[in-house]
Chains A and B, each alone.
Chain A
């Protein structure tokens, strides 16, 4: 199955590009043109949800947040594999089932590792 492609096939993508970039550029410029320009001290101050800003935004935070977040992403992404598998479940048959079991058990091993290592302990 070979798709012969000619440059014309890419025209929709090109249009997409132009529109996307065009939109961004126009909005930036247009807001500058349309918006009223009033400069005062308060106007130029750092804007933070209407509350006065407290300190530098780059605060050190506990690595635990990061760890949990990363682990969440990891396992979350792995679960995505389930979707195509579920769709083709009948087609893949027993082999597919066993393969998925293997996959999940490997995930499980990783999970055990994380727990035993204490990565999820908060204190």
Chain B
């Protein structure tokens, strides 16, 4: 709860800083707020506490995801230092990001469907605006509008689902619903199941699972690069945390009903995401499709709930978010200098900055799931837990589709080691511009060498 309060206050402070001519302190202030929130979040470890009439529940699951969310946002801030400071409405953007993060934290701590809905909306509405924050760019406007339209459409489903669940169980509270379902299992009305499907639709939309993924490439591609980074890392993490929490805490008794849905969705998502990504020439769009594919892998955790799926999902999300931040840091710098976002525009990176190229390679390897980096263990844990769940066919498809993935991830690595094509490929103006890439590369490696430290948390 403290975390949520601190984050909201930080957000408000960020919003007001412009008004009170404190724009210079904005960056430091936001980082400070995030750090304090991080400390409070970690402090909650090992506790099991409810707040606001049992609407918020802080347990270890929530703590781990909250900490990850804040940590990733912190890195994101480091990476985007210059973008917003040069922007006229920087304080608004910072505030929106912080509000969005608050929504994300609510989504990981919720114990009540209304909080889930509130969190999701706080998260999303901020993003609708951020997607269009590059006002002069037509694609950015398009992304914003599309995201908003389809987003509200999906929210409608979610709300309808919540209403149906409430109708069937007369409660919003996860524990109460779960108890009710446990008690009346077998004699639940059909609209209860319809409610599950509706909620499932609304939430899988957020994680861009097929067939509710159509918005994703356009939105990810059109939004400003940094906002895309935020969507891919933080938003995906929050949405998955919420999805998993809801289905495990609440609908676990009727798991036979929804497991096949997730299994099939997962298979289709990873296949479609990977296959379509092969064709992309733009690095950003390729990563957008790859994020769809990754959503497919993450859905495996819901296709085989229980067991180690929880830590597998957590590890996968962390590995994915870290490598995404690293790759996007490069992409952002490349875009800033060359104005292009194709895969071939990273050519010559090794020549200019060998260390950065190596770190980029680590991040790409992590995405492709190749040892010894974090992504490999993300996939490994995920596959093991799915195998334990008995879904061998799904693992088979996952392995095959990740083979496809290797192809296009390696295109980037190869490009990074090729000779430069353009003259002015000075990918960074100051050495500090790629700090986040370095941090992410090293983190990926560390997590790959010592995965047990993090995977053992949940």
Interface set of A (CB-CB < 8 Å, partner B): 1-3, 5, 106, 109, 112-113, 116-117
Contact = CB atoms under 8 A, between A and B. Distances in A.
B278 to A, nearest CB: 44
A113 B16 contact: yes
Contacts, number: 16
Nearest to A3: B170
**Interface of chain A, main secondary structure:** helix
11 contacts: A1-B170, A2-B170, A3-B170, A109-B12, A109-B16, A112-B19, A113-B15, A113-B16, A116-B19, A116-B20, A117-B19
Contacts of A5: 167
Contact of B16 (A1, A3, A112): A112
Contacts of B12: 106, 109
Interface string B1-39: 000000000001001101110000000000000000000
**Can you list the 3 inter-chain pairs with the closest CB atoms, starting with the nearest?**
A116-B19, A2-B170, A113-B19
A115 to B, nearest CB: 9
A2 B180 CA distance: 10
Nearest to B16: A113
A95 B45 CA distance: 29
A5 B189 CA distance: 10
Contacts of B16: 109, 112-113
A98 to B, nearest CB: 15
A11 B167 CA distance: 16
Contacts of B19: 112-113, 116-117
Nearest to B180: A2
A116 B16 CA distance: 9
B206 to A, nearest CB: 25
A102 to B, nearest CB: 11
Nearest to A116: B19
Contacts of A106: 12
A51 B167 CA distance: 52
Contacts of B167: 5
Interface string B147-169: 00000000000000000000100
A10 to B, nearest CB: 11
Contacts of A109: 12, 16
Contacts of A2: 170
Contacts of B20: 116
Nearest to B89: A117
A3 B168 CA distance: 9
Nearest to A2: B170
Given A116-B20, A117-B19, 6 more contacts: A1-B170, A3-B170, A106-B12, A109-B12, A113-B15, A113-B19
A95 to B, nearest CB: 12
Contacts of A112: 16, 19
Interface string B164-199: 000100100000000000000000000000000000
A8 B18 CA distance: 58
Most chain B Cβ neighbours within 10 Å, of A112, A113, A116: A113
Nearest to A115: B19
Contacts of A3: 170
Contacts of B170: 1-3
A112 B15 CA distance: 11
B171 to A, nearest CB: 9
B176 to A, nearest CB: 10
Nearest to A106: B12
A80 to B, nearest CB: 17
B173 to A, nearest CB: 13
Nearest to B20: A116
A106 B13 CA distance: 12
Contacts of B18: 117
Interface string B122-142: 000000000000000000000
Contacts of A117: 18-19
Nearest to B15: A113
Nearest to B189: A5
Interface string B181-221: 00000000000000000000000000000000000000000
A64 B12 CA distance: 24
Nearest to B169: A2
A24 to B, nearest CB: 24
B96 to A, nearest CB: 13
B19 to A, nearest CB: 4
Nearest to B13: A109
